[in-house]
């Protein structure tokens, strides 16, 4: 396992980050995973034994159960909390209360306290804002995040699922006021969803922010289970929870290529898809999930794969984004510089 610095911090995180969305299985999360405490403990031992030190959860995953199961596993397995980087998130509504969601100062502070209680920790290493809240001014969000860091309950703040322009606005406000800035971004990024390459990933690179891709297998669609001849893979989360949205016809073309490359390397299509994400410019730590130990170990093996230039060319050609404005005019005009 290799380790990368998180943005412009001195914090080292593993090149794979383990996501705990499969812990719990409440509500819609049942389709993603239903791991309970015994299985969670087994998975977490494998995670740490593999060298992964970066663990990602969220208050909304199984409506708090994921955090609770993760926190208990740290104690049950006897993991050294000081060797782990624990990330969670704030924004989602966990109940019907009028102020039980969003990114107001009121909710951020309440949410952090609730997450710490479920996790059985005294601080969160990375707190992500888990999406946009158009009803709360960006200045209020950034000041609240700065103050929660100063309280000692959070070490670093980061952002998930924001457009590039809003991230830059937040960074400018933080710079102007000498507040803590976002140190990283978490975004959907996979061979079947390369949208962040247009605006968001360039922001992360320009601002020296870490980039942590979520759903690098596009909700399991790139696992190798789905092909044109098998469009409803039994037992896959996509069978009952068809998310995130992708162009499936294009994805089938991608799957054909990565299955063939996988055969040449004697590895699974999933490992090829994960290896491609890991090797892209600006990527700090790729978030993987697993329903069981076998799936986890298969994903971890992706770090051992080296893709040739020919492999990368084939994959890039079949998965490339269509050209859009202003990208095409920028490329056209830049010829003369």
* Residues with a known catalytic role: 61
Half-sphere exposure of 230 (CA within 13 A, CB side): 13
| Cα separation, 307 vs 132, whole angstroms | 36
Cβ atoms of residues 33 and 289 within 8 Å: yes
**Contact predicate 125/54, CB 8 Å:** no
At residue 302's C-alpha, the angle toward residues 316 and 225, to 5°, is 75
Sign of CA dihedral 89, 95, 96, 98: negative
Please, which residues bridge with residue 3 across strands?
14
- Give the tokens for residue 254: 């991608």
Give all strands (DSSP E) within 135-251, no chain letters: 154-160, 182-188, 210-214
Contacts of 266 (CB under 8 A, 6+ apart): none
3-state class (DSSP) for residue 16: strand
Among candidate residues 209, 125, 124, 131, the one with its CA nearest the CA of residue 174 = 209
């Amino acid at each position: 396992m290799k380790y990368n610095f998180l943005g412009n911090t001195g914090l080292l995180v593993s090149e794979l980050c383990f996501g705990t969305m499969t812990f719990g299985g409440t509500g819609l999360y049942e389709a993603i995973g239903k791991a309970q405490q015994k299985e969670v403990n087994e998975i977490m031992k494998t995670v740490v034994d593999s060298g992964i030190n970066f663990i990602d959860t969220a208050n909304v995953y199984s409506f708090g159960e994921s955090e609770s199961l993760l926190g208990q596993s740290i104690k049950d397995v006897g993991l050294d909390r000081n060797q782990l980087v624990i990330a969670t998130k704030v924004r989602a509504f966990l109940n019907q209360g009028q102020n039980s969601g969003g990114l107001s100062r009121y909710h951020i502070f309440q949410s952090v306290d609730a997450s710490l209680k479920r996790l059985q920790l005294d601080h969160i290493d990375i707190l992500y804002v888990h999406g946009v809240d158009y009803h709360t001014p960006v200045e209020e969000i950034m000041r609240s995040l700065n103050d929660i860091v100063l309280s000692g309950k959070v070490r670093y703040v980061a952002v998930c699922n924001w457009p590039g322009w809003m991230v830059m606005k937040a960074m400018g406000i933080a710079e102007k006021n000498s507040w803590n800035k976002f140190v990283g971004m978490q975004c959907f990024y996979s061979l079947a969803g390369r949208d962040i390459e247009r605006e968001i990933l360039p922001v992360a690179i320009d601002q020296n922010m870490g980039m942590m891709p979520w759903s690098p297998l596009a909700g399991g669609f790139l696992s190798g289970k789905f092909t044109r001849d098998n469009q409803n893979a039994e037992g896959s989360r996509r069978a009952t929870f068809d998310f995130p949205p992708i162009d499936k016809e294009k994805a089938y073309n991608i799957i054909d290529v990565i299955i063939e490359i996988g055969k040449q390397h004697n590895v699974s299509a999933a490992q090829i898809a994960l290896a491609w994400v890991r090797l892209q410019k600006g990527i700090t730590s790729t978030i993987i999930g697993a329903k069981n130990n076998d799936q986890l170990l298969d994903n971890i093996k992706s770090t051992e794969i080296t893709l040739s230039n020919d492999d990368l060319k084939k994959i890039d050609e079949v998965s490339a984004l269509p050209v859009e404005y202003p990208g095409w005019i920028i490329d056209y005009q830049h010829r003369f510089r």
